Structure 1
Amino acid sequence: MSVKKRYPVLAVAVAMTSLNASGAGFQVSEHSASGLGRAFAGEAAIADNAAVLARNPAAMTLFKTAELSGGLSIVDPTVDVDDNDFGQSAKDVAPMGFIPSAYYIHPINNRIAVGLAMFSNYGVATEYPDKFNAGSTAGETSLMTVNLNPNIAYRINDHFSIGGGISLVYGDAELKRHYGLLGLVGKNSSDNTIKMEGDTYDWSWNIAALYEVNDDHRFGLSYRSQVDLDFEGDFTDYTGKITGTPNTVVTGKLPVVLPAIAEFSGYHALNNQWAVHYSVQWTQYSKFEELRATSDQCNPGYEGEAGVCLMKDEDYDDNFRWALGATYSLNPEWILRAGFAFDEQAGKSTLSIPDTDRYWYSAGATYTYSPNMSFDFGFTYLRGKEITFEEDETSFTSTSDAFITAAQINYKF
């Protein structure tokens, strides 16, 4: 049995975060309450609080004083899956998720600023009933990640700024399967067949640019690199078909790709009250090709392939997310915002990740309590397109929607 690596600060952050992907594939978009209120339209260009670090560190040059932002997003999804061939349904397979975030920006002078961000870009959780027929492909799946991301920005001139940083990305994953319809004599459909759990960390990098036409018009461009997480942890073979001995625990390895992300945003103030903003985000999901767990002790191996504990091909393509929003300054205390986004389906739907097109309908507000302190609130209704897919020669239909709420506090020093 392996001894897991544990990193206390990051482990605490992950423990706070029961993630459920609200973006396409297994992407987590909830980086701020202000962003949620506009469907994350214009995030790489607006820079109305320190949460801009998650999207564009070059925008730190817009800050004149140090600022701290911290928030919590709550994702309450409803994902139902119907087994069309056997007339069985699984309700609410995606649990509620809690997603914290924190950001700090500190200007050094009128050209250089530094910042630190903690947030998540990827995560997913699905939990099917123990007696769901397709236990061998459904069961429980979870992936939780957190980024600790220091950044620096430099203003080249009055119009152009650049920025970048590195990220320590921590991940924790668990996968559990059971017999389901394939239960054998003397076994229950809810009895486990395999289980794998482990954690790991890796480094990534990000770069960004901000172009200011003037105070009322600016554009942002950012890129966040791919992360290759090599999980190492406990693989349990309850049946003995993979390792040769029932109830055997071995050390398994499972590489997982967190795809690269690029975003272009624009912000335009039309007058003293109204502004419009937009974003196009690209995610390189084509790099996510398979889930393949390996160990020398998995012999005869998964489906007779020695050294392989688990194998699942994934069918993903690069996808785009389009967002448009508006902001209205009601008075010195209140700012109102709204937005709409379309998030393209990234991968072929499966029971563990029932992906589909998503439509975001968002609204939010900022309340300025004092010159130094403000509060952001955001709400989104997310509607997923109904989709029918096949897995292991069985037909399923998935329906989904979600309510996302968020609150955030911002403080200027």
Structure 2
Amino acid sequence: MTGRMFRPSVVGAAIALAASQAHSAGFQLVEHSATGAGRVFAGEAVIADNASVLARNPAAMARFDRISASGALTYIAPDVYVRGNYATDPGGPVNNASLTNNDVVPGAPVPAGYFIQPLNDKWAWGFAMFSNFGLASEFPADYPAGALAGETHLITVNFNPNVSYRINEQWSVGAGFNAVYGDAELKRNFGVAAPDPYSPSNVSASLKGDGWGFGWNIGLMWELNEDHRFGLAYRSKIDVDFEGDYYSDLPEGLIAGPNGPAGTSGQNIPGELTLNLPDMLEFSGYHRLNEKFAVHYSYMWIGWSTFQEIRGTTEEYGTVLQKDEKFSNSYRVGVGGTWYMNPKWELRAGVSFDRTPSRTLPSISIPDNNRWNYGAGATYHWSDHQSFDAGFFFIHGKKGAFVEEEIPFTSKGNAYVISMQYNHSF
């Protein structure tokens, strides 16, 4: 590879591309329920209108007086592009071959499920299955920036048992254990930068594996009265240790740079990667102003500074994939309202703002920008024990510019999110 073509050292670059534009800041997922989607998750840690509150605050289980279960399915339809150009020779003119991909992120479903059981007037327990982090990006095999071509996928599932205790009429506490399973794949092709004798679809590096990480969460709820309450919840940071297979079509023993990729002649060898997921602190408030209307709000702090790099290793070669990310701590703030139209129907809406964590080192790997989110939704109460939720929100990302490998890029991402949910109490 010559001139200003992309170097193999950026082979791991797109780990967080998808969700950085399609979901919340970085590659965080907040799409935990259809109820929350309709208010863009403003007030989510304290409203407790169904069992999905478990994704945010275990202390809110104290508000339930009977067994409750909720199941949600959200579909995210992103519209993300990355654009740029490269030169074929050092100092040469810009080539007409464009580093443009107008369909970077595929659509994806996000399921979730929740169960809460009061044990007595003091204690309750519950179990949640949902995802706080995930991504997917797909580039064509002949993408000019070969080291960025290929596919990136990350799926995480949080298995989260919780318990709550009501101290008195105003104060409740809760805690939980988080077992996070992750499945990830990084595959990079040479693209048009393929050296002889390789074709654009040959793999410069691939790392695929799965693993577990463990953490904890706690929550607090303060109820001034039935119409005014506050919630505070915290989730610890989690390191997910992935183990799997690494391979490259490069000749066995060849290391293309200080940070890889390393050649294996297409043979699988054991590989490892640790993904550092951030801790989160959320404060929420809910105020029912009268019989018909309520306002609610949230502020979430996300400790993204824990995510500084992507580093894949093998026992034989050491580091085979490495990319600095240098995330900074970020936040999400939102406000919403609910209209209790009649005993059958509730309508809701909200707006929120996400601050990007990739402010220090923006790159094509994470073309992440600040964004606004606008949502609306409804609940239909079929009976005293059954209800259905629908929610929709639009993510509007700010256009951003950055330089990667001396090449200027621009990126922008919007997304359409629709969610459905069924709730049942016993």
Judge same fold: TM > 0.5, yes or no: yes
Write out aligned runs for 1:388-403 (5 A): 388-403=401-416
Q: Which moved more, 1:352-361 or 1:119-128?
A: 352-361
1:272 and 1:69, CA in 2 relative to 1: closer, same or farther beyond 3 A? same
Write out aligned runs for 1:10-409 (5 A): 22-85=23-86, 86-240=97-251, 241-242=254-255, 243=262, 245-298=264-317, 307-347=318-358, 348-409=361-422
Task: Give the superposition deviation at 1:156.
Answer: 0.6
Query: Mind listing any 5+ residue stretches in structure 1 that lack a counterpart?
Result: 1-17, 299-306
Task: Give the superposition deviation at 1:332.
Answer: 1.0
Task: Give the superposition deviation at 1:393.
Answer: 1.9
Query: Mind listing any 5+ residue stretches in structure 2 that lack a counterpart?
Result: 1-17, 87-96, 256-261
Tell me, in whole angstroms, the C-alpha distance in 1 between the residues paired with 2:99 and 2:162.
50
Task: Give the superposition deviation at 1:104.
Answer: 0.4
Task: Give the superposition deviation at 1:134.
Answer: 1.1
The Cα offsets for residues 358-381 of structure 1, whole Å up to 9 and x where unpaired, read as: 110000000000010000000001
The Cα offsets for residues 99-134 of structure 1, whole Å up to 9 and x where unpaired, read as: 000000000111111000000000011111111111
Task: Give the superposition deviation at 1:39.
Answer: 0.5
The Cα offsets for residues 287-316 of structure 1, whole Å up to 9 and x where unpaired, read as: 001111111212xxxxxxxx1111111120
Tell me, in whole angstroms, the C-alpha distance in 1 between the residues paired with 2:333 and 2:192.
41
TM-score by length of 2: 0.89
Task: Give the superposition deviation at 1:352.
Answer: 3.5
Tell me, in whole angstroms, the C-alpha distance in 1 between the residues paired with 2:300 and 2:263.
46
Q: Which amino acid aligns with 1:405?
A: I
Task: Give the superposition deviation at 1:186.
Answer: 2.8
Give SS of 2:281's match: strand
Q: Which amino acid aligns with 1:390?
A: V
The Cα offsets for residues 154-200 of structure 1, whole Å up to 9 and x where unpaired, read as: 00111100001101110001001111242112322232111000000
Task: Give the superposition deviation at 1:92.
Answer: 1.2
Q: Contact conserved, 2:35 with 2:389, CA < 8 A, in 1? A: yes
Q: Contact conserved, 2:125 with 2:163, CA < 8 A, in 1? A: yes
Q: Contact conserved, 1:104 with 1:115, CA < 8 A, in 2? A: yes
Query: Percent of aligned pairs with the same residue?
Result: 47
Q: Contact conserved, 2:76 with 2:418, CA < 8 A, in 1? A: yes
Q: Which amino acid aligns with 1:175?
A: L
Tell me, in whole angstroms, the C-alpha distance in 1 between the residues paired with 2:375 and 2:28.
18
Q: Which moved more, 1:217-226 or 1:187-196?
A: 187-196
How many residue pairs match? The answer is: 388
Q: Contact conserved, 1:19 with 1:99, CA < 8 A, in 2? A: no
